[in-house]
Amino acid sequence: MQPEENLALSIAILMHDLRSPLQTITSATAHLSRVLGVPGAVQRHEEDIRLIQTAVGDMRRMIQDLLDVSAAMLGRFSVAAFPLRADRLLETASQELKLSAQTKNIDLQWWCDPGLPEVRADGDRLHQVLMNLGQNAITFTPPGGRVTLRAIRANDVIVFEVSDTGTAGAAGTWMGESNLSGVFERIRRGGEGQGVGMGIGLAIAKAIVEAHGGRIGVTTTPLAGAAFHFTVPIDAAPPEGPIRAPDGLS
């Protein structure tokens, strides 16, 4: 597939997926416009407000993916390096994912190995990776499940992990063992009826992690969930300047 065709496909997928949160915003806003003004309405319709906020967050993430795809195609996809603490990265991501988790009655937790050293990394980009992985986990975990973000040290790297208790894993029912090796490599979508495009975000996540000199992977346990994990070197900083386009987007 030519680069222009890949870009067109990326845009088409994202535009399709943007319809779902946009419809949520439209419906909830229309409903609120009809009922607000009634005494006690604000308290009774807090769930509508939460749905709107969640949908806006979903759209913001999808739009960022689209911007990154465009930047990658133009050779302008890059990372920077600043001092970064793993616990603050996890805390910030957890706070932003909290509303989505609460909306689905999912227990969202985070844990960081005490005393982890600072790394030199692009905090905004790694936050983007955690948000993509975390939102995917929430999307594919049934109500009442659990999503956990954690960070530990393993020799000369920090390992970040996003795990879930979804019966099919955070990648949905389509991610069997035969698909694991290519899940980060190209544009992928959920199985029939899932209605969620995941491969763009995962391909971008892979590019970000590899730009830091790390690696990203996933393991699944049948009927017990999935765990996405990536590493960030402790004593190295990502190189400056543009990085190569993510696999499947070039």
Q: What is the CATH number of the domain that holds 39?
A: 1.10.287
- Domain membership of residue 159 (yes or no) is yes
How is residue 214 written in tokens? 């790390």
Any alpha helices (H) in 81-216, and if so which ranges? 86-103, 123-139, 177-180, 199-211
CB 32 within 8 A of CB 49: yes
In a domain, 96, yes or no: yes
203 is a domain residue: yes
- Show the tokens assigned to 97: 């994912």
Looking at 73, 96, 127, which one is the last position of a domain?
Answer: 73
Q: Label residue 106 exposed, middle or buried (CB < 10 Å: 0-12, 13-18, 19+).
A: buried
167 lies in the same domain as 105: yes
Q: Is residue 250 part of a domain?
A: no
Tokens 């530990």 locate to 152
Domain match, 220 and 108 both: yes
Pair (49, 144) in one structural domain:
no
Q: How many helices (H) and strands (E) does the chain have?
A: 7, 7
Q: For residue 241, tell me if it sits in a domain.
A: no
Q: How far apart are CA 221 and CA 151, in angstroms?
A: 20
Residue 247 domain-assigned (yes or no): no
Of the ranges 35-39, 170-174, 198-202, 214-218, the best mean pLDDT one: 214-218
DSSP lists the bridge partners of residue 129 as: none
168 with 104, same domain: the answer is yes
Whether 77 shows a pLDDT value over 60: the answer reads yes
Number of folded domains that form the chain: 2
Is the same domain home to 69 and 103? no
Residues 46 and 111 in one domain: no
Which residues is 229 bridged to in the sheet?
Answer: 161, 217
Segment 173-192 shows an average pLDDT of: 51
Q: Is residue 239 part of a domain?
A: no
Residue pair 133/163 in contact (Cβ under 8 Å)? The answer is: no
Looking at the structure, do residues 113 and 12 belong to the same domain, yes or no? no
pLDDT for 5 equals 61
pLDDT of residue 240: 66
* pLDDT attached to residue 211: 86
Evaluate if residue 100 carries a pLDDT over 90.
no
Could you list the residue range(s) of the whole structural domain that residue 155 is in?
Answer: 82-233
pLDDT of residue 161: 97
Q: Are residues 87 and 64 in the same domain?
A: no
The answer to whether residues 208 and 161 belong to one domain is yes
Query: CA 95, CA 147: separation in Å to the nearest integer?
Result: 13
Whether 246 maps to a domain, the answer reads no
Across the strands, what pairs with 119? 84
Give per-residue pLDDT as tens, 121-143.
Answer: 999 899 999 998 998 899 888 89
90, 66: one domain: no
Amino acid residing at 192? E
Same domain membership, residue 25 and residue 118: no
83: buried, middle or exposed (CB in 10 Å: 19+, 13-18, 0-12)?
A: exposed
**pLDDT tier at 41, thresholds 50, 70, 90:** low
Please check the confidence at residue 198 and state whether its pLDDT lies above 50: no
Q: What is the mean pLDDT of the chain?
A: 77
H-helix or E-strand spanning residue 229 = strand 225-233
Q: Is 90 in the same domain as 194?
A: yes
Q: Are 232 and 158 in contact (CB under 8 A)?
A: yes
CATH assignment of the domain containing 186 = 3.30.565.10
Q: Tell me the DSSP string of 50-88.
A: HHHHHHHHHHHHHHHHHHHHHHHHTT--B---EEE-HHH
